[in-house]
Structure formats: structure tokens, C-alpha cells
A and B are shown apart, each in its own frame.
Chain A
């Protein structure tokens, strides 16, 4: 056998081994039961009575929006005239500019 023949034989062997290993592994996982697997008993189907769904409200078109005006009122003091001043003794403290 020359080098070419030796290389060809090796490639064929590797290919055949790979295919054989893959088939064996797949078969092992497919056939063997899973580790720790438990069986869940089947539940018998039952019927549930749901309450009736209320009817949807009837929809009406939205009213057209006219011009909107917002009025903010600030209560300003109404300045009113002072009552007539009484006679005040000079001893009374007086507020004044200073």
C-alpha cells in the first residue's frame, strides 16, 4: 500500500465509524427509559359552566367638540373707601413712613 491508499482507507474507516456511533447513540436514547421519569395519570376531561358574557354596550358616535373656554378667576380685593376717621388722641401710636 502506498501513502494514497493508506489515507483513503483511513478516511473510509473514520466515516464508517462516525455513522455507526451516531446510529448507536440515537438508538440508545430513543429506546432506554429516561432516568427518574414518572408517569402522570391522565386527567379525565370535564366540562365547566362559564357565566354568560354580558352584552357589549352599544357604541354611539362621540359628540362634536365645540370651542372650549376655560375661565380662571382670581379674587382681587376691591379697594373701598375708609370710614370717616374718629378723633384720635395724640398719645396713640401712629403708623407712618419713616
Chain B
């Protein structure tokens, strides 16, 4: 007999939800408490809004080197891997552009009337020099790992909870699962309608992860018009896309997190080629106008009938 235990909390500027089926309620609660603490520790290390975070200290280096933590080194390695795999579409070095667009403080504190600084020339993430855990930050290079850390955290927390029992980790919409609920063959995950209606689809996720990226949240008004947080590294400006959102399915939440953004940034004519360049990736495209479409693998996971036996 297993006990279903659940916990929700705010972290990383969004709502987190953790579910685990444990041998006992007490064991489940202990696992969830540990998972929440791990999530908060990750936020403290990788936040660009906390001056004392490790990431902020790295960004303040400019031209000097530092030995980073093992966790930071792991995420920097993963970010470099994804920067190369996406041909530079994923680029954590867009932080100066993100700040210039107005996202230079937590989202809740953005001042729409604030003066925008002039464009700042900066390098790409490929210019970050590494020698093991020694990092040399070129002058002017500052990074934002927000585009990958949430997915990476979902993977790590799901791994830890998965050791206790079947688990689902929902870090603000980046969802990773381990095992399946008792008596079920998969978890059911809904796909949010950007326009606010009923869910666009229900997916059956037996393993791996699903992440969504869109321009319909974290939007604000600026002197130049509507702004959002998805910066196109090719222009340094908030991306212009015919898509409201991209839902990505992949065995790893970190990869789904990155590629959902990149598919949204990519031009329509090159979008399909980009998707096939990432093994294991399936996507659902939600256009600004029109009906959502998906790759065969994504459609195969859509629930066509009634959603029943919901374990989450």
C-alpha cells in the first residue's frame, strides 16, 4: 500500500508542485521536504536577482576567473552542450539584452516607465572559458541560466523523489515524472491554452518530461511596446514569433525546457528541421491564431477520450 503525498510552494518566481507515492505518509513528507529544500538551494545558487548568489558573483567577475561549485559546473556544461546543439539559439549570454528590455529585476517589480539603457555589445556563451571548475568570464559577458535551470532542477528533484516512489515534479510548468502512479500506465498532464480557456490537450506521460515556453506570460509594456522575456540572441530583442507557445516532450526536462524556447524562436520554414535535429524531441505548436498542431510522437500521447483515473 502506498500513500500519495503532495506539496506546493513558491520558488523561482512561480508555483512548484511535487507529488510522490511513498510507502508511508511520513516517508513521503520527508522526501517532499527534502525536495523543497533542494529546490530552494538551487534557486539561491542560480538566481540572478540575488546579489549573493553564485551566479551573481560570476556575473560580477568580468575579465577574471573563479572556481565554481560542482552544481554550477554541471549546469554550465549542460548549457554549453545545448548552446552548441541549438546552433546558438539557446544563449545564456543574452542577460544584457534581457535587462535592456526591462527584465532587470524580479518580474513582479518591473517598472514599465524605466529608461532603457543603450544596447550593450556582448559576446556569446561560447566565449565563456572553462578548465574543469575554473571559469574565466570575458569582460562584458554576463549570463542568465533561467532558461535551463528550472528544467535541470525538475530532473534532479524527480530523480531524488523517484528513489522513494512514483513521482511527479511540476516546477512552474516544467514537469518531470519518474515511475507511474499505482494502477496507472502514465501520468496525465494538461496543456494550458494561452488564451485562457480550457486545456488544449491532455497528455499521457509515462516517463521523461514536458516543458512549455511561450510569450503569453511574463509580458510587460515598455517604451517600445509589448515586451516579453524570450530574447532572440540573433537580434537581442524579445522574439517575434507566429507561435504563442511551444510544448516540448523529451526524456530530460532540461532539454525540453531549452528546446521549447528554441523552436518558438526559430523561423517557421526551419522549425521542422530544428525539431528533428534533437533526438527524442516531440513538440506541440500553439499558434497565435489557428489550431495547435503536433509531431506524431506528441499526438500519440494525446488523450482522445475522457480523462479518468487521474492520479495527480
Q: Mark B238-273, 1 if CB is under 8 A from A, else 0.
A: 000000010100000000000000000000000011
Q: Are B312 and A92 in contact (CB under 8 A)?
A: yes
Cβ B189 vs Cβ A94 within 8 A:
yes
Chain A residue at minimal CB-CB distance from B285: A79
| Bound CA–CA A76/B19 (angstroms) | 36
A91 within 8 A of B: yes
Q: Give B301-312 as 1s and 0s: 1 = Cβ < 8 Å from A's Cβ atoms.
A: 011111100101
* Stretch among A5-13, A18-26, A31-39, A82-90 lining the B interface: A82-90
Q: Inside 8 A of B276's CB, which chain A residues have their CB?
A: 74-77
With contacts A87-B306, A92-B312 taken as known, whether A77 is within 8 angstroms of B299 at the C-beta atoms is no
> Residues of A contacting B217 with CB < 8 Å?
96-98
Interface magnitude class on chain A: 20 to 34
Tell me which of A76, A81, A85 contacts B199 (CB under 8 A).
A85
Q: Which of A54-98 contact B (CB under 8 A)?
A: 74-89, 91-98
Where the two chains meet, the residues of B that have a C-beta atom closer than 8 Å to any C-beta of A are 13-14, 17, 19, 150, 168, 170, 172-175, 187-192, 194, 198-203, 210-218, 245, 247, 272-273, 275-276, 284-285, 291-296, 299, 302-307, 310, 312
Q: How many angstroms between the C-alpha atoms of A69 and B203 in the bound complex?
A: 43
Among A75, A76, A81, A88, find the residue whose CB has the most chain B CB atoms closer than 10 A. Answer: A88
Contact B173 A94 (CB under 8 A): yes
Specify which of B190, B218, B304 is in contact with A95 (CB 8 Å cutoff): B190
User: A98 touching B14 by the CB < 8 A rule?
Assistant: yes
CA gap between A98 and B12 in the complex, in Å: 10
- Which residues of A are at the interface with B, using a C-beta cutoff of 8 A? 74-89, 91-98
Residue of B nearest to A84 (CB): B304
* A92/B307 in contact, CB under 8 A: yes
Q: Are B189 and A87 in contact (CB under 8 A)?
A: no
B272 and A77 contacting across the interface, CB-CB below 8 Å: yes
Would you give the shortest CB distance from A75 to chain B, in whole angstroms?
7
